[in-house]
Amino acid sequence: MAKLAQLKSLFLEQFGGKESDISFFQAPGRVNLIGEHTDYNGGSVFPAALTFGTTLLVSPREDGKLLFASTNFPITREIATGSLAFDEADDWTNYPKGIVWELAQRGIPLSRGYNFLYHGEIPNGAGLSSSASIEVVTAFALLTLEGRETDTVEISLWSQHAENEFVGVKCGIMDQFAVANGKKDHAILLDCDTLRYELVPFRTGDNKLVIGNTNKRRGLVDSKYNERRSQCEQAVRDLRQAFPELQLLGQLTLPQYRENEGLIQDETVRRRARHVVEEIDRVSRSMEVLKQGDLAAFGQLMNASHDSLRDLYEVTGDELDAMVSAAREVPGVLGSRMTGAGFGGCTISLVHGDSVDRFIEEVGKKYESATGLHPDFYVCDIGDGVRQLKEEA
Ligand code: GLA
């Protein structure tokens, strides 16, 4: 991580002002261990916060303006708090703007202006929730500096709402929730219908979690994502013949679903629904095997999750499939799957510590020769959710 002292110098160069007026905040990225495309279906997910993310430096200004800058992108913006609208040309600054808009909607208009400097360590467009990280860190910082309560569950909901309504991406709650509520060495078992959650110690023993970035641009991801969402809604409408009150696929048990699957008219829609209900079941089986410390069984569930995302939900694509199959050929790999929305982005693999170097070398070579793309790998630890930093940290 760039040292806070370095970021502080950059901040003062950009905005001027007094050192003592700067506050520091950080929010992580996230990786989902299992439970994919279940959140917007009211199912459960099992994500974890990463040890890297977005650092935000903020200072107040008396002229009511909002000035946004980033160490990652050349685009900077100066915006009057009263004129907040989504604008494609504003690029990444739409995320923090969305948060200021959201707070105003909730009756928390800002009492003054602010200077913001963002420093992101999450590779962009990799599906590790760089946008959720920006949203959550902005919401947490502004609530803190405005002297308001910082309830991290509320912050996740507000950030998701800003992304849905201001940015226009119809994501579920998983990303913002993990970024806001993560805890070092724990994964979060979250029921996305009730928002009940449990921090589960995630002990990998002699194994490591390795993220593989396909570096495949996630083209069309939003339109395909929204198409999957509407297919799930269609499945719910068909299943209402048997369950008139049904709102979300995640409210059905696997046996209930299996008995009534025939009510879903369209064969593609039926496969989408089957993925969702079986994936939710895999999350609960994961909890059982992890309680017993059976990481090999968890690895098998990760594999089954990927295969279902490939064959039933059809959100993997050649690059993710190539990386996962190369990973599974390496001895010492317990399981490997795509993580996040799919259509590019990253895989997550559980790999024996002694095999990590070989994994990176062999998967890298095979993936590159299969796709022509150069991958990146990150051996990852699980970190904390959003927080304020002390400068000397
Ligand atoms: C993206 C969305 C999440 C979730 C995942 C798929 O990351 O932002 O809400 O739906 O895809 O599990």
Which residues, in sequence order, are bridge partners of residue 52? none
Distance 37 CA to ligand 1 centre (A): 6
Q: Extract the annotated binding site for ATP.
A: 70, 125-131
Distance 38 CA to ligand 1 centre (A): 8
Establish whether residue 135 lines the binding site of ligand 1, counting it when its CB lies within 6 angstroms of any ligand atom: no
Predicted confidence pLDDT, tens digits, the chain (393 residues):
568 999 999 999 999 999 999 999 999 999 999 999 999 999 999 999 999 999 999 999 999 999 999 999 888 889 887 778 999 999 999 999 999 999 999 999 999 999 999 999 999 889 999 999 999 999 999 999 999 999 999 999 999 999 999 999 999 999 999 999 999 999 999 999 999 999 999 989 999 999 999 999 766 677 899 999 999 999 999 999 999 999 999 999 999 999 999 999 999 999 999 999 999 999 999 999 999 999 999 999 999 999 999 999 999 999 999 999 999 999 999 999 999 999 999 999 999 999 999 999 999 999 999 999 999 999 999 999 999 998 754
Distance 103 CA to ligand 1 centre (A): 23
Ligand 1, atom 1: nearest CA belongs to which residue? 341
Tokens encoding 180: 């806001």
pTM of the model: 0.96
Tokens encoding 168: 């226009």
Supply the pLDDT for residue 373. 98
| Of 74, 49, 53, 50, residue with least CA distance to 2 | 53
For strands 65-70 and 113-120, give the pairing. parallel
Q: Extract the annotated binding site for substrate.
A: 36-39, 225
Ligand 1, atom 2: nearest CA belongs to which residue? 171
Supply the pLDDT for residue 80. 83
Q: Which domains does the chain have, with CATH numbers?
A: 4-201+383-389 (3.30.230.10)
The three state secondary structure string of 279-325 is HHHHHHHHHHHHHCCCHHHHHHHHHHHHHHHHHCCCCCCHHHHHHHH
Is residue 250 a contact partner of residue 42, using CB atoms and an 8 Å limit?
yes
- What is d(CA 269, CA 218) in angstroms, rounded to the nearest whole number? 23
Q: Exposed/middle/buried for 348, CB within 10 Å: 0-12, 13-18, 19+?
A: buried
Question: Which member of 63, 90, 91, 175 is catalytic?
Answer: 175
Supply the pLDDT for residue 81. 77
Establish whether residue 158 lines the binding site of ligand 1, counting it when its CB lies within 6 angstroms of any ligand atom: no
Q: CB atoms < 10 A from the CB of 264, how many?
A: 23
- What is d(CA 126, CA 375) in angstroms, rounded to the nearest whole number? 11
**151 given a catalytic annotation:** no
